[in-house]
Structure 1
Amino acid sequence: MPIEHVADPADPRLADYRDLTDVALRRVLEPAGGLYIAESAKVIGRAIAAGHRPRSILVQEKWVDDVRDLAGDAPVYVVPTEVAEQLTGYQVHRGALAAMHRPVAPPVADIIAGARLVVVLEDIVDHTNVGAAFRNAAALGADAVLVSPRCADPLYRRSVRVSMGTVFQVPWTRLPKWPEAGGILHDNGFHLAALALADDAVTLDDFVAARPERVALMLGAEGDGLSRRALEAADTVVTIPMAGGVDSLNVAAASAVALWALR
């Protein structure tokens, strides 16, 4: 584990960690550069346990011992607190950041082989909701998560943090566009259950009472919900009964309720 002390925030060795609060910049740099950022020793450890490799680790002096067993051959850049905050734009409370090599996305068929319950996230743009949905999937027994081409990146720093590293625990990959995505799932024996509001929707309780063997639970974007093409691909539209004049839940909360019922 090579340790390098760096005091200049403009040092080119720290380029992977610069301006993390600029979402647009990170969206360009992380996928194009084949990197994502993992935050905290616990999350970095989960990423490494899942087979991901760190390119480098950024840490403050007092937390060096937390990453000694994680870095392997990757350099560990030790920086003063003020440098860490200048780089990232926020107070680094969790001790360590790692620039991780992004693994190649596996084929959908490999991810769903043997699965009985998968979650499909369509065009969810909020990284917090994506991370929360992954945490729910891990906690409540989903076998895999499939994300649409325009869904927010599960490996974006905030998604990873909110998921508590479960994005490395639950198998996932990206689906192609509809209707190709629906064809793949149907060909593999999945019943597509769209969580949405519709006149012909069945309640979650009724759907669970006659649960198909293999279920793909589809959840849509905040506000607009599932797209027309996604609903056309669905076999059943399922709704969670609401009270108090509320028509729906936040997508992450809805995923938790539905997954608990389908567990």
Structure 2
Amino acid sequence: MIVAVPAPELITDPGDERVADFRDLHAGDRPAGTARGTGPVIVEGVPAVERLLASPYPVRAVFGIPGRVSALDLPPGVAAYEADKWVLSEVIGFRLTRGVLASADRLPAPDLDALISGPDPAAPRRLAVLEGLNDHENIGSIARSAVALGIDALLLDPHCADPLYRRCVRVSMGHVLTLPIAVLGDWPGGLDRLHDAGYRTVALTPAEDAVDLTDVDP
């Protein structure tokens, strides 16, 4: 059965509440009055939005210039809006060169023990653990590299920046949305939890006297 996808609704007023998810995105890493690590996930650009659509994150809305939104294969129930470049820029607070954005709900925090053990406890797993990383773009770069290297999940200490902030998702090209993510609330005790589960931890450092990564036994 072929299901017809409704055409995107036209937005002509920058104050339209239907696109509230996308308002004043330049203002910071979360909407005013909301706690850190809360609020919708905002995704920019066609490749990243397509990765969002293929991810487990529930998509709320898509907003872009004419032609960009209608070209996406949107699931039923996703609100779709389009506007000219001026209205789009007025809503989000800056000029968007990628032409399309999407918003999505965050996923519930995963069970940390299940994330550490994985679907097959006997199979080897590789986890990337970030400590005190508060630059969103650096986290996005690491997430993109982690996916390329076959990392199974991303663990953060309590002081890391929000890995689902818009700039992080943009730099990761949406790949961060494909990684299971959890926060190790007890730090540095969380490392002991990994050791108890059988993990070996290897820290990366630019120190000149450090062991070269190629010399580390797998």
Give TM-score, length-normalised by structure 2: 0.85
Q: Tell me the CA shift for residue 133 of structure 1.
A: 0.2
RMSD of aligned Cα (Å) = 2.3
The aligned counterpart of 1:36 is 41
Match of 1:6 among 7, 11, 20: 11
The 1-side partners of 2:59 and 2:116 are apart by 27
The aligned counterpart of 1:109 is 113
Higher relative contact order (CA 8 A, sep 6+): 2
Match of 2:145 among 115, 136, 143: 136
Structure 2 residue matching 1:77: 3-state secondary structure: strand
Q: 1:161–1:54: structure 2 CA closer, same or farther, 3 Å change rule?
A: same
The 2-side partners of 1:143 and 1:27 are apart by 33
The aligned counterpart of 1:167 is 176
Structure 1 or 2: more strand by fraction: 1
The 2-side partners of 1:150 and 1:15 are apart by 29
The 2-side partners of 1:182 and 1:27 are apart by 34
Indicate if the aligned counterparts of 2:29 and 2:166 stay in contact, CA closer than 8 A: no
**Structure 2: where are the runs of 5+ without partners?**
118-122
The aligned counterpart of 2:67 is 62
The 1-side partners of 2:54 and 2:75 are apart by 12
**Structure 1: where are the runs of 5+ without partners?**
212-263
Q: Tell me the CA shift for residue 23 of structure 1.
A: 1.3
Q: Tell me the CA shift for residue 41 of structure 1.
A: 2.7
Q: Tell which deviates more after alignment, 160-169 or 39-48.
A: 39-48
Cα deviation digits, residues 194-242 of structure 1 (max 9, x gap): 22366984332332xx23xxxxxxxxxxxxxxxxxxxxxxxxxxxxxxx
The 1-side partners of 2:202 and 2:74 are apart by 40
Q: 1:24–1:160: structure 2 CA closer, same or farther, 3 Å change rule?
A: closer
Q: Tell me the CA shift for residue 171 of structure 1.
A: 2.5
The 2-side partners of 1:192 and 1:75 are apart by 44
Indicate if the aligned counterparts of 1:45 and 1:70 stay in contact, CA closer than 8 A: no
The 2-side partners of 1:33 and 1:191 are apart by 32
The 1-side partners of 2:102 and 2:38 are apart by 14
The aligned counterpart of 2:120 is none
1:203-214 equivalences in 2 (<5 Å): 203-207=212-216, 210-211=217-218
Indicate if the aligned counterparts of 1:19 and 1:87 stay in contact, CA closer than 8 A: yes
Match of 2:94 among 90, 94, 97: 90
The aligned counterpart of 2:51 is 46
The aligned counterpart of 2:191 is 182
Q: Tell me the CA shift for residue 27 of structure 1.
A: 7.8
Indicate if the aligned counterparts of 1:18 and 1:87 stay in contact, CA closer than 8 A: yes
